Structure 1
Amino acid sequence: MKKILFIVLATITSVVHSQTAVPKTATDIAPLLIGEKIPNVTLQSSDNKEVQLADLFKKKKTVLVFYRGGWCPYCNAHLQALAEAEKKILDLGYQIIAISPDAPENLKVTEATDKVKYTLLSDSKGELIKAVGIAFEAPENYKSVINVHSKGMNTSLLPVPSVFVVNPESAILFEYISPDFKHRITNELLVSVLKTIK
Structure 2
Amino acid sequence: MTLQSKLDAFKADFEAGKPPYNVPYRVIETMHRATAELIASGAAARARKAGEVLPAFSLSDQEGNKVSSTDLLARGPLVISFYRGVWCPYCNMELQALEEALPEFEELGANLVAISPQNQVNSRKSVAKNNLTFPILSDPHNDVAAAFGLRFAMPDYLVELYKSLKNDLPAFNGDASWTLPMPARYVVGQDGVILYAEVNPDYTRRPEPDDMLPALRLSASRRVVA
TM class, shorter-length = 0.7 to 0.9
The corresponding residue for 2:114 is 98
Select between 46-55 and 102-111 the one with higher mean Cα deviation.
Answer: 46-55
Quick one: which amino acid aligns to residue 25 of structure 1?
Answer: L
The corresponding residue for 2:49 is 33
CA distance in 2, matches of 1:93, 1:56: 11
1:63 pairs with 2:79: yes
Q: TM-score scaled by structure 2?
A: 0.71
SS of aligned partner of 2:140: coil
The structure that is strand-richer by fraction is: 1
The alignment yields a C-alpha RMSD, in angstroms, of: 1.9
1:122 pairs with 2:138: yes
Aligned residues: 174
The structure that is helix-richer by fraction is: 2
Quick one: which amino acid aligns to residue 57 of structure 1?
Answer: L
- The alpha-carbon distance between structure 1 residues 118 and 36, as it changes in their structure 2 partners (threshold 3 A), is same
1:165 pairs with 2:179: no
> Structure 1: where are the runs of 5+ without partners?
1-23
8 Å contact from structure 1 (residues 178, 184) kept in 2: yes
Quick one: which amino acid aligns to residue 175 of structure 2?
Answer: M
SS of aligned partner of 2:170: helix
CA distance in 2, matches of 1:35, 1:119: 25
Aligned match for 1:181, one of 203, 209, 213: 203
Quick one: which amino acid aligns to residue 147 of structure 1?
Answer: P
- The alpha-carbon distance between structure 1 residues 168 and 196, as it changes in their structure 2 partners (threshold 3 A), is closer
The corresponding residue for 1:17 is none
The alpha-carbon deviation at position 148 of structure 1 amounts to: 1.5
Quick one: which amino acid aligns to residue 99 of structure 1?
Answer: I
Q: Percent identity?
A: 30
Q: Deviations over 1:78-129 (max 9, x none)?
A: 0001111111111122111110001011111100110110121000221101
